[in-house]
A and B are shown apart, each in its own frame.
Chain A
């Protein structure tokens, strides 16, 4: 609780005492601090604004319903609680509407914030993988441009490697 006022993860702490929570804020801080090529340059004000726009879109229109599905179909299962099917159904409708719009946008841009891969694309990945795990991968795969974008994300060597390593660790943990 001392590290995160709401008692959640992730939290990051530095030897000098600097502490940060909220995953997107942490990601952005790392990208800036260590110069990861995942953000538009500060001097390009328009690109930075489009990045912020894409970031808000992800948080408000995607992560909210996707998170509800993940909670109902994944988290609750481990807590032994029943899924609220009405919540899932509403969230799924919202997600479909969201990806209908994303489909149109991605016909003109390769990535969520424009022509380059950025942090915003990374922001989507964990919850989309959770949707696949819950059996809702069709929301992505049934939309051509969204599906092409997803392939671009999944085919990035670092991401591919991390996912493969986690799968290996998961398989080992089940043995």
Chain B
């Protein structure tokens, strides 16, 4: 096994890439100007190696312990790709 790995640099780099953790986790909110300040900085720096965890401010997720502390990872969605709504998306749904 070790022979296979050492003889195959491609395999090693693939393994390293797939097991690599993101550099950090950014907790933010859709429609938050403060969150966007940080996202704009990362965009300008061309930095994409991070995980974004949306926190729902309207549900008070930032205030209560459980979801925000991630004791239960399923409690809040984790996304690797940004799904950020703009201002209008926050308005009450027209039914």
Contact = CB atoms under 8 A, between A and B. Distances in A.
Interface of A: 1-4, 7-15, 23-24, 26-27, 30-31, 34, 36, 38, 67, 70, 74, 77-79, 119, 122-123, 125-127, 129-130, 133, 156, 158-159, 161-162, 165-167, 169-171, 173-174
- Secondary structure at chain A's binding surface: helix, strand, loop or mixed? helix
Residue among A4, A14, A126, A159 with max Cβ neighbours from chain B (10 Å): A126
A13 B34 CA distance: 16
Contacts of A34: 45, 47
B35 A9 contact: yes
A9 B32 contact: yes
B32 A10 contact: yes
A170 B29 CA distance: 13
The 9 A-B pairs at the shortest CB distance, nearest first, are namely A170-B86, A36-B45, A126-B33, A170-B89, A126-B36, A27-B41, A23-B34, A23-B37, A173-B89
B7 to A, nearest CB: 31
A7 B45 contact: no
A46 B81 CA distance: 39
B23 to A, nearest CB: 7
Interface of B: 21, 23-29, 32-47, 55, 57-58, 62-65, 68-69, 82-93
Given A27-B38, A78-B91, A122-B44, A170 B84 contact: yes
Contact of B24 (A12, A122, A125, A126): A12
Contacts of A11: 26-27
12 contacts: A2-B68, A4-B62, A26-B38, A30-B42, A70-B33, A78-B58, A122-B40, A126-B34, A127-B33, A169-B83, A173-B83, A174-B88
Contacts of A171: 86, 89
A66 to B, nearest CB: 9
Contacts of B58: 78-79
A170 B88 contact: yes
Of the listed residues B43, B88, B92, the one surrounded by the most CB atoms of chain A closer than 10 A to its CB is B43
Contacts of B55: 9
